[in-house]
Amino acid sequence: MSKKQIKKLVFIGIGLIILLITGIIYSVLFNEGRFVNKMDLSEYIFSVKDIPMLMIGALIAFYVIYLTIIVFKASMMKKNIRKKYTRKVPPYFGIFGIFGFLGFMGFWTYDKWGIIYPFIFFVFFGLFGLFFEGKLSNTLEDELYQENKRKAEVKAYRTGFVLLFVVIWLVGMGMLSQNIEWCAIFMLISISLIYGLVLFLSSYLLYRYEKEE
């Protein structure tokens, strides 16, 4: 809850207290002390003179409800605004990037059975980025971290799009056009490597920006 909100609530509360005191004085002097002295509400009969005290009571009730809602919202926001930290990843998890070398099996499977899907394993080269993510484990995700993360992702995606454009341009210019199968292999390998590179760069560049290296 901001200081401005607190001041507003305090001023409203003071105003209601002044109104309540005024209403009590009015009721004692001009309305036989109704709603001030003890009353049996089961036998209550409305009187025009009761309107000031009823209005003041309604305003106080609305104020209490409003105050309850504000305090509840403030407590919920306080619970939600907790310091966030990056996930804990051991740097040695970066070794899983070696699975990217399984992509070279595609040349063997293609030659043996005409199967090209193992080339997708080149994507796993991106797991080398876990090494740099591990070095940033349990780092506070403050505004500077978020800004560096966005900057790293933008640069990584930009690099990926540029490389993808080059690949598409080469294919469009007729590279390997005489052999559709080799063209498909070239596209699959290129896209897999580019995707892995983007994953790696996102972690690597974030590490560099955070450590200012």
Give residue-wise pLDDT tens across range 86-141. Answer: 888 888 888 988 989 989 998 988 888 888 888 889 999 999 998 998 888 888 87
CA distance 71 to 203: 41
Torsion of CA 23, 29, 30, 36, to 10 degrees: 50
State residue 78's pLDDT score.
60
Instruction: Report the pLDDT value the prediction gives residue 39, as an integer from 0 to 100.
Output: 65
Structural contact between residues 120 and 188, judged by C-beta atoms closer than 8 angstroms: yes
Q: Is the dihedral of CA 155, 158, 160, 162 positive or negative?
A: negative
pLDDT recorded at residue 26: 77
Q: Which spans in the chain are helix H?
A: 3-30, 51-80, 105-113, 130-135, 143-172, 180-211
Per-position DSSP letters for 115-153, written without gaps between them: --GGGGGGGGGGGGGHHHHHHTTT-B--HHHHHHHHHHH
pTM above 0.85, yes or no: no
The residue ranges of the chain whose pLDDT is under 70 are 1-3, 35, 39-44, 46, 75-83, 177, 213
